[in-house]
Chains A and B, each alone.
Chain A
Amino acid sequence: MIRLQGYTINILMGIAAVTLVGLAHADMLDGYTLQIIMLIGINCVFATSLNLVNGYMGEFSCGHGGFMCVGAYVGSLLSVMFFGDSKLFGTALFPPDLAPFLFPLVLLGAMFAAALAGLIVALPSFKTRDDYLAIITIAANYIIISIIENIDAIGGPRGFSGMTKTVNAMRDFIDLPWMLIWTLIGVFVCVMVIRRLMTSTYGKGISAICQNEVAAEMMGVNTNRVKIMAFMVSSGLGGLSGALYAHVYGYVNAQTFGLLKSTEGLVMVYLGGMGSISGVLMAAIAFTLLVEVLRFVLPWLNTALHSINLLPSSYQVDQIWTWVFIPLMLILLMHRRPEGLLGNRELTDIFPSLKRWFTLK
């Protein structure tokens, strides 16, 4: 008999991914659903990468949106440089037929740039910790956004676009839902990197720093190096989510990646449980769906409250209320279950029978 243990989850995920791609290819998913699915994927990458710092390393990074921003812009710029004609880079560097093959380069470039940007936080983290480091991460978020917003050559506050051309070039080569495929690959790579890192003794140095930094340093862990590694991996994968975002929407604007974006990441991490890959993945899915559900529920609520004359006709419940409900949820969560849905456990710890099928630890 073929031993399936350890591969089952990969096979299941593979089947799910192929089904999704198949459905999208056969036009059985409308554009909106497809976009939500891709956004879920992007949020999964964004949240699990933030979890590396906030969950496993126990630092409080609230500037993850900044790294997503770097990834989004660098990814977009590379994409336009490679396959688009623009005033900035002139004509395309490569013929459009190469788009499906060179797109990984775009993503890798974005990850590399975001990982470098991660040094803004990694270097101060040698001496600064906890709340003080959290303040530095907020500052880093602002610095990144202000810099990008003030470079007029890449659109400044007007944002940057042109990535659709790359996506179209890929579609012209073979008609497939390319961005869905890349997003799924992105999620897979991100989860695999974090899982492999955190199950290796090398990566457990991150947990050691979280739990007792003095002991870690004294027992031979090069804490400064591990911190650089953790921050760079985290921000690099954050950059991956940015590059995917840029290509899914075809337009980026620095303001999208402000503190609100970083907060979304925090909500997902703290909802799912710090230091739990499966928890954060579930939270990323739930959170993205919740935001979309509220988009429908709020107008409905508005009509309902007006029809029973609870609200003055001059006041409308609009989409801003999303950002009342979600923080409210966070307050309740912190009050009732501060460790998140799963805490630092994985699904397999809660349902040990799942271990027959997969392990995340």
Chain B
Amino acid sequence: MPLLKIFSLTQRFGGLQALSDFSFQMEEHELVGLIGPNGAGKTTVFNIVSGFYKPTEGSVVFDRKQINGLKPHQITALGMARTFQNIRLWNNLTVMDNLRLAGYAWLGYNFWSAILRTKRYWQAEKDIDNHAREILEIMELTDYAEEFPKNLPYGLQRRVELARALVSKPRLLLLDEPAAGLNSADVDDLIRHIRWIHDKFKLSIWMIEHQMKVVTALCQRLTVIDFGCIIATGTPEEIQNNPSVIKAYLGDETL
């Protein structure tokens, strides 16, 4: 049974067809990529899968549950987390708080516990704190625990966002251009981290990425979309030599 199964997804924004008949599936513990030229509809796919958009047609099944129609926070609670193309951290909360908050879905106490400081409150806060610290250590961010994300360099902000996504205990991680804007040293770190968390947490990872270096180093297979349609699937090597992919990226030679 695949972990994620997408049936002929179609998304229209007014007259614009952002996605047409997109079908896809991925197994547990796979690491796959989604690539395509600018405006091809990659982020739209992620936005639908994570519940931010309601698809015009089609359905998304995650872990045997149909999830299109659920709210984003419900999908997160089912075990899916994502990062964003443009970093969306909570800049006036510390790195540690950013991470702790990602445990919101499994916090397990309510308003009255927080006010009355019940046993359950202390236990939940302790659990979440331990878990967040563990992730912080794995992602080599311990030194920045009490910093505000806005004061960190860009590469670290990306890493904090990745760490935050991990704290929600996902089974599927969606990474939207995790290497965008990183220098080559940061990119090497990123590749190392992603590989590490993929093995350590037995995660499934689906990523949008432009840098071939990242994609070839990490992804077992790729899906290429252009103008909202799948134009090719295969291993990174196959994709690099696929004529229709070259055409989509570089244009038609015979023009």
Q: In whole angstroms, how far apart are the Cα atoms of A221 and B77 in the complex?
A: 9
B:107-154 near A, CB below 8 Å = 107, 109-111, 113-115, 117, 121, 124-125, 128
Are the CB atoms of B93 and A204 closer together than 8 Å?
yes
Are the CB atoms of A202 and B109 closer together than 8 Å?
yes
**Chain A residues with CB below 8 A from B89, complex form:** 212, 215
A and B contact pairs by CB, cutoff 8 A, 9 listed: A196-B117, A201-B104, A214-B84, A216-B101, A218-B76, A218-B88, A219-B105, A219-B168, A222-B104
Are the CB atoms of B77 and A220 closer together than 8 Å?
yes
Are the CB atoms of A207 and B92 closer together than 8 Å?
yes
**Chain A residues with CB below 8 A from B81, complex form:** 219
Nearest B residue (CB) for A224: B71
Nearest B residue (CB) for A194: B115
Nearest Cβ distance between residue B57 and chain A, in whole angstroms?
23
B158 proximal to A (CB < 8 A): no
Nearest Cβ distance between residue B33 and chain A, in whole angstroms?
21
Are the CB atoms of A212 and B90 closer together than 8 Å?
yes
A193 proximal to B (CB < 8 A): yes
A:209-234 near B, CB below 8 Å = 211-212, 214-223, 229, 233
Q: In whole angstroms, how far apart are the Cα atoms of A201 and B96 in the complex?
A: 11
Are the CB atoms of B97 and A204 closer together than 8 Å?
yes
**Chain A residues with CB below 8 A from B105, complex form:** 219-220
B76, B97, B111: the one contacting A202 at CB < 8 Å is B111
Q: In whole angstroms, how far apart are the Cα atoms of A155 and B111 in the complex?
A: 37
B12 proximal to A (CB < 8 A): no
Are the CB atoms of B90 and A207 closer together than 8 Å?
yes
Are the CB atoms of A201 and B103 closer together than 8 Å?
yes
A203 proximal to B (CB < 8 A): yes
A208 proximal to B (CB < 8 A): yes
**Chain A residues with CB below 8 A from B90, complex form:** 207-208, 211-212, 215-216
Q: How many A-B residue pairs have CB under 8 A?
A: 97
Contact pattern, B 70-96, Cβ under 8 Å of A = 1, otherwise 0: 011100110001101000111111000
Number of B residues, CB within 8 Å of A: 39
Are the CB atoms of A219 and B115 closer together than 8 Å?
no
B102 proximal to A (CB < 8 A): yes
**Chain B residues with CB below 8 A from A208, complex form:** 90, 93, 101
A:84-142 near B, CB below 8 Å = none
Q: In whole angstroms, how far apart are the Cα atoms of A204 and B90 in the complex?
A: 11
Q: With A214-B52, A215-B88, A218-B52 in contact, do A196 and B114 touch (Cβ < 8 Å)? A: yes
B100 proximal to A (CB < 8 A): yes
Are the CB atoms of B114 and A202 closer together than 8 Å?
yes
A344 proximal to B (CB < 8 A): yes
Q: In whole angstroms, how far apart are the Cα atoms of A201 and B164 in the complex?
A: 14
A:25-63 near B, CB below 8 Å = none
Nearest A residue (CB) for B164: A219
B68 proximal to A (CB < 8 A): no
A200 proximal to B (CB < 8 A): yes
**Chain A residues with CB below 8 A from B164, complex form:** 219
Q: With A196-B115, A204-B100, A214-B52 in contact, do A220 and B76 touch (Cβ < 8 Å)? A: yes
B59 proximal to A (CB < 8 A): no
**Chain B residues with CB below 8 A from A221, complex form:** 73, 101, 104
Given A201-B97, A202-B104, 9 more A-B residue pairs with CB atoms under 8 Å apart are A200-B125, A201-B100, A201-B125, A202-B109, A204-B100, A207-B90, A212-B91, A219-B168, A222-B104
Q: In whole angstroms, how far apart are the Cα atoms of A219 and B114 in the complex?
A: 20
Nearest B residue (CB) for A199: B114
B11 proximal to A (CB < 8 A): no
